[in-house]
Homo-oligomer: A and B are copies of this chain.
Amino acid sequence: MNQVAKMAGVSEMTVSRVLRNVGSASPATRARVETAVRQTGYVHNRLAGSLATARSGLVGVILPSMANSVFSEVMGGINSTLARSGLQAVVGVTDYDQTTEEALVRSMLSWKPEALIVTGLEHTNEARRMLDAAAIRVIEMMDIDHPPIDIAIGLSHRAAGSETGRYLFERGYRRFGYVGDDLRKDTRARSRREGLTEFLRAVGLPPAVEIAEAEPSSLHLGKRALARLLARHPEVDVVVFSNDDMAAGGLFYCMEHSIDVPGQLGLFGFNGLEIGQAFPKPLSTIRTNRQKMGALAMEQLMISAARPNEPTVIDTGFELVPGATA
């Protein structure tokens, strides 16, 4: 900036003002500064700028995974709103591990972000303490089944699980099976399964017979797990999957093995991904609004930069999509 100032024959302060479009500068000096910037190839240093203003314009985003399209969609929602506000995202991936999350929270906070967006409401004590102590907005996305630190945006997975049970029960299904991915890690899938189990108990049915593989969810896992479930429990008349990827795998399995869906076996997913709705028989599932979560999160940040005394909970809800598989 010093160089630019010299070349333009002004002070650094004037250069700074011209570049940020604040205060006022005569058209003549403005032009000279702009020429000098171009000639020197000057690149603004936001590290120094942020240090001086104590405003980084950064937002930390901590996600469990990039492979799962659910999170990349949320990230998409965040990013599109972010860009308009002149903020930038710093991204971290936890791989569903709370210790990794804690390290990422610490690391992110050291960049003095304007806000931090994390996934879910379960964190290590230390992570919770840091988030609580940070004088910034903290948004916990995807889930609203527990009290948030500051703002929670998402849906009740417990309610979604229970609603799934109610719908299938009303359709006449009685012998429930459940196919899940790694439930130790995917706490929201676990909540949904608990909601389902609770409903079944309430109507006097036994809990769903279950296969849960210790792997991240995928189409192939859904296929394989359904095969195992049916081998062990041929009596089930409906299978609830932990999500649409798994369910789509199950649907492919049924196609390959000529299992009549939903006549012989009902299938039910979660998320409302495009893939489920592209099948000749669209998947029965629950649709959640990921884009909206991301956008709403940013909206909350715009409303107030300071954290109020009371936490905020925003329920983005869910919609049961009857489909044609259950």
Say yes or no: A43 contacts B109, CB within 8 Å. yes
Could you tell me if B256 and A219 are in contact, using CB atoms closer than 8 angstroms? no
A73 in the interface (beta carbon within 8 A): yes
Interface centre among A46, A49, A65 (most CB of B within 10 A): A46
Number of residues of chain A lying within 8 A (CB) of chain B: 53
Bound-state CA distance A79–B71 (Å) is 14
Which of chain A's residues 21-72 have a Cβ closer than 8 Å to chain B?
A: 41, 43-51, 56, 58, 65-67, 69, 72
Q: With A and B bound together, what is the CA distance between A48 and B134 in angstroms?
A: 18
Q: Is B218 a contact partner of A46 (Cβ separation < 8 A)?
A: no
Q: How far is the CA of A279 from the CA of B253 in the complex (A)?
A: 9
Q: Which of the segments A87-95, A152-160, A315-323 contacts the partner chain?
A: A87-95
Q: Which residues of B contact A106 (CB under 8 A)?
A: 43
A93 touches B88 (CB 8 A): no
Residues in B whose Cβ lies below 8 Å from that of A91: 75, 79, 89-91
A112 at interface (Cβ–Cβ under 8 A)? yes
Shortest CB distance A71–B (Å): 8
Q: Contact at A73–B67, with CB atoms within 8 Å?
A: yes
Inter-chain contacts of A279 with B (CB < 8 A): 252
| A223/B89 in contact, CB under 8 A | no
Are B76 and A46 in contact (CB-based, < 8 A)?
Answer: no
Q: Report the minimal beta-carbon distance from A92 to chain B, rounded to whole angstroms.
A: 7
- Proximity string of chain A (285-323) to chain B, C-beta cutoff 8 Å, 1 when within and 0 when not: 000000000000000000000000000000000000000
Q: Give Cα A41 to B129, complex, Å.
A: 9
- Give every chain B residue within 8 A of A76 (Cβ-Cβ): 65-67, 93
Closest to A111 in B: B46
User: Are B66 and A88 closer than 8 Å at their CB atoms?
Assistant: no
- Pick from B47, B75, B107: contact of A50, CB below 8 A: B47
CA distance in complex: A223, B89 (Å): 35
Chain A contact residues, CB within 8 Å of chain B: 41, 43-51, 56, 58, 65-67, 69, 72-73, 75-76, 79-80, 83, 88-93, 106-107, 109-112, 130, 133-134, 218-220, 223, 248-249, 252, 255-256, 274-275, 277-280
What would be 23 A-B contacts, judged by CB atoms less than 8 Å apart? Answer: A41-B130, A43-B106, A43-B110, A43-B130, A44-B110, A47-B50, A47-B51, A65-B76, A66-B72, A66-B75, A75-B91, A76-B93, A79-B92, A88-B90, A88-B111, A89-B90, A90-B90, A219-B274, A219-B275, A220-B274, A220-B278, A223-B278, A252-B278
Q: Give me 18 other A-B pairs in contact (C-beta within 8 A), A43-B134, A47-B50 excluded.
A: A43-B109, A46-B110, A46-B111, A46-B112, A65-B76, A66-B75, A67-B73, A69-B69, A69-B72, A72-B72, A72-B75, A75-B91, A79-B93, A83-B93, A90-B90, A218-B274, A219-B274, A255-B280
